[in-house]
Amino acid sequence: MKKFLLGLFLLVTMPVQSAVINGGFSNNDGWVDASWAPIPGDEGTASIDNGVAKLQTAGGGITGGYNSSWAQGTDADFFSFSSTTVVDGNWLNFDFFFDNSLVDSNETGPVPAGDDYFSVTLLTLTDFDNYDVGLAFTGGFDFSLTELFAALDVSAYLGQTVILAFDLHDEADQKDAILSLDNVEFSDTERQREIANLAPQTVPEPAGVVLLLISGLLGRKFLKR
C-alpha cells in the first residue's frame, strides 16, 4: 500500500510532459516573449492576433542583433530551462508568412530589406547548459521562405524535452519585417500543404547563418549572464 501511495504521489508531483503547447496560438499560454536587443527597449515585438502569432523586428537606429521571439520551455530572459515540451514526432510542422513589405529606406544591410531572417531552434537541457546551438534551422537555407509552411526533420531529438523558439532576426536599424506563425506541431507526418490561409511572398536570403549565433537565442544567453 505504501509503495502504491508513493507511486501515486510521484505521478501527481511529476511535471506533465506534453508536445507543443498551444501550437494554434489561441492565446499566449505556453509561450513567452523572449525578444532581445543589445540595447533594452530596442527589441522587436511578439504578439498574438486572432489566433496567429506575430513577430516584428525593431531597432533604435544602430546596426545590431535585434530580435523578436516566441519561445516555450524557458523564461523571457533565457536564464532557465523549465521545459515540459517533448519532441513526440519526427517532424516539426508550422505555417508562416514572412512579410517584408515594411522596408525602411534607411536600412544598412547588403540587400534592400537588410539582413532579416527567420530561425527555429530546439535546445535540450544539455544544449542549454553547454551553450550549444542545439538543433537550429534558418529560413532561406534550411527551408524556403517562399512557402506557406515548413516541415523540419527533428527526428534527432525524438523523445527529448526541449526549449522551442521561433525568432525573427534583424541586423539592420529599423522595423522592416513581420512574420505570422500558426499551427505549430510535432508529427510523424511531414506536412504537405499549409493549414493557415496565408499568401506566399519572396524574400531575400540572409547574408550568413553565423548571425544566428550572434543575435539569436544563445547570443542572448551569453550577453545577459
> Looking at the domain assignment, is residue 6 inside a domain?
no
Average pLDDT over residues 119-138: 95
Task: Name beta bridge partners: 120.
Answer: 137, 166
Give the pLDDT of residue 36.
85
Asked if residue 108 is part of any domain, the answer here is yes
User: Virtual CA dihedral for 129, 66, 25, 218, nearest 10 degrees?
Assistant: -10
Grid coordinates in use for 145?
521562405
- C-alpha dihedral (16, 21, 27, 32), degrees to nearest 10: 90
Fill in the amino acid letter for 166.
F
Q: Domain holding 217: CATH number?
A: 2.60.120.260
The whole-number pLDDT of residue 15 equals 41
Q: Which residues form the domain of 83? A: 18-224
Does residue 40 fall inside a structural domain? yes
pTM recorded for the entire structure: 0.79
Q: How many domains does the chain have?
A: 1
At 103, is the pLDDT very low, low, confident or very high (cuts 50, 70, 90)? low
Over 142-162, what HEC string results?
CECCCCCEEEEECHHHCCCEC
Tell me the per-residue pLDDT of 146-190, one tens digit each, with 9 for 90 and over: 888 999 999 999 999 999 999 988 766 556 678 899 999 999 999
pLDDT at position 46 is: 92
> CB burial class (10 A; 0-12, 13-18, 19+) of residue 49?
exposed
193 belongs to a structural domain? yes
